A and B are shown apart, each in its own frame.
Chain A
Amino acid sequence: MSEMLSLSNDPTLFIAVMLAKILVVFIVVILIVAYATYAERKIIGHMQTRLGPTMTGPLGLLQPIADGLKLFFKEDIIPSQASKLAFILAPMMILVPAFITVAVIPFGDSITVKGYTVPLQISDLNIGVLYILAMSGLGVYGIVLAGWSSNNKYSLLGGVRSAAQMISYELAAGLAIISVFMLSGTLQLSDIVAAQSGSILNWYIFSQPLAFCLFVITSLAEVNRTPFDLPEAETELVSGFCTEYSSMKYALFFMAEYANMVVLSAITATLFLGGPAGPFPGPINLLIKVFAFMFFFIWIRATFPRVRYDQLMYLGWKVFLPLALLNIVITGAVVVF
């Protein structure tokens, strides 16, 4: 086992490797985000016996680029009654937490660079899981501020709904994860992955099926996807918190939604499906699992109608929260006895 590459033994190489890792992860996430929009339109199209985009490029493959260019050249309108600072900051405040959460996801085993060991993970934090929860907590601000600063009643309603929804479901998601680290005994994501290594039966999806289901459903609620997309319920709220947004700012909201989907898929894969474990090289296994979850998210959108707001709150507080608590009690009993 060679020495771990760190800032003390080879600073230049360390910084170069870190920058390379960050750049690669960032580009991969951006690409997935761009093509997730294409995949969503294509998959939902076929599920509804349509074709989806076909005109731009072969099979419509250039559609995300065309969309991006179009939005980029649109006029950027800030409503005269809007609160400017919050209006401009909001799209960034929703996108940045989504992207920096990726920093703690392990995407493979260690590799060796010039005799040093380099873990395939941007930062192996001691508090990995807490970091994820903290960042998802910060994501609420973007939506709330976007809703408030637009000075539009539909936006405000969307923002208020979304804040209540995210706070309620964050609780259930956090409690669902607790049972995972009761088994692993650590908050460090690399250790959680290591605890699931060996056989496929060690994956926490088999020992924690209830926590897995709870986490996947609360993830849907946290990224505001159907059937929990009440913050932007277009039939009643025009477009919810992003009604007044146009041009690139609007695109940032969309990117954030898909980035959150990618990140939550990766987190679910890491916590419950052994992360980069599998038959192929690490990053490819992780990508396969992420794509499977993304497909699942899109599939759900084509299948289920939207829930009512009281049903949403009932589900969060009276079903998911007690179930998550029950799961913690059962897991605790199993761990102790």
Chain B
Amino acid sequence: MELLQLIFFYVVALVTLVAGIGVISCRNPINSAISLVMTFFCLAVFYVMLHAPFMAAIQVMVYAGAIMVLIIFVMMLLNQGLVAIGKHRHALVGAGIAAALLVVQMVITVTKGQVSEPVGAITAKVVESVGHTQLIGQAMFTDFLLPFEIASILLLVAIVGAVVLAKREV
């Protein structure tokens, strides 16, 4: 049922865009944060549609479930109120140029670009039969063990650093 998928895609895409516009246009920072959570959630839906359910779950758990909660936490405690939009003209000009470049790039990709099949052993069929989580787990603990361990050491350093900074005044 290609049609159902297509309709679903357009509905989710619309919600993503509306939420994305909400992120940058809300005057209240908390409302922007809520819109951003919505955008993360819609991105997770796209991951599911692309046969990457593990990515989707991690997206929601880490970005929506942990990082944004902390950001909202900080905003709540600071409670700096409404933000005036449109005061910084140079920022608007910069954003406009960046957006225009992006639009040009997108138009060229959509009209002139070619879609290539995924290369390598991991295709959509393999993902369906073996399972996305299993594939990522295997890759992470065999081929990409070193980067994985380096990432964990980086996080450990960050944790130790946070403890040192927080404990200094006690």
Are A138's CB and B60's CB within 8 A? yes
Determine the interface band of chain A, counting residues with CB < 8 A from chain B.
20 to 34
Q: A86-B31, A127-B57 are in contact. Are A144 and B133 (CB under 8 A)?
A: no
Give the contact stretch, choosing among B10-18, B66-74, B83-91, B103-111. B66-74
Contact B54 A11 (CB under 8 A): no
Q: Is the interface of B mostly helix, strand, loop or mixed?
A: helix
Chain A facing B: main interface SS: helix
The contact size tier of chain B is 20 to 34
- Bound-state Cα–Cα, A145 to B4, Å: 34
A17, CB-defined interface residue at 8 Å: no
Partner of A160, one of B28, B56, B77: B77
Q: A86-B30, A145-B30, A167-B66 are in contact. Are A133 and B61 (CB under 8 A)?
A: yes
With contacts defined as CB atoms under 8 Å apart, how many contacts are there between chain A and chain B in the complex? 84
Known contacts A130-B58, A134-B61; is-contact A149 B30 (Cβ 8 Å): yes
A140 at the B interface (CB under 8 A): yes
- Contacting residues, chain B, for A163 (C-beta < 8 A): 69, 73
B34–A127 CB distance below 8 A: no
**Docked CA distance A135–B120 (Å):** 33
Q: Which of B56, B66, B73 has the most CB of A within 10 A?
A: B73
A111 to B132, CA, bound (A): 27
With a cutoff of 8 Å between Cβ atoms, the chain B residues found around residue A83 in the complex are 28, 30-31
B57 touches A7 (CB 8 A): no
Q: How far is the CB of A171 from chain B (nearest CB, A)?
A: 10
What distance in Å separates the Cβ of B94 from its nearest Cβ neighbour in chain A? Answer: 29
Known: A127-B133, A138-B37, A148-B76. 18 other contacts (CB 8 A): A7-B1, A85-B31, A86-B31, A89-B34, A126-B133, A127-B53, A130-B58, A134-B61, A137-B60, A137-B61, A137-B64, A141-B34, A141-B72, A144-B76, A145-B34, A160-B73, A160-B76, A188-B131
| Residues of chain A having any CB pair with chain B under 8 Å | 7-8, 11, 83, 85-86, 89, 125-127, 130-131, 133-135, 137-138, 140-141, 144-145, 147-149, 156, 159-160, 163, 167, 170, 186-188
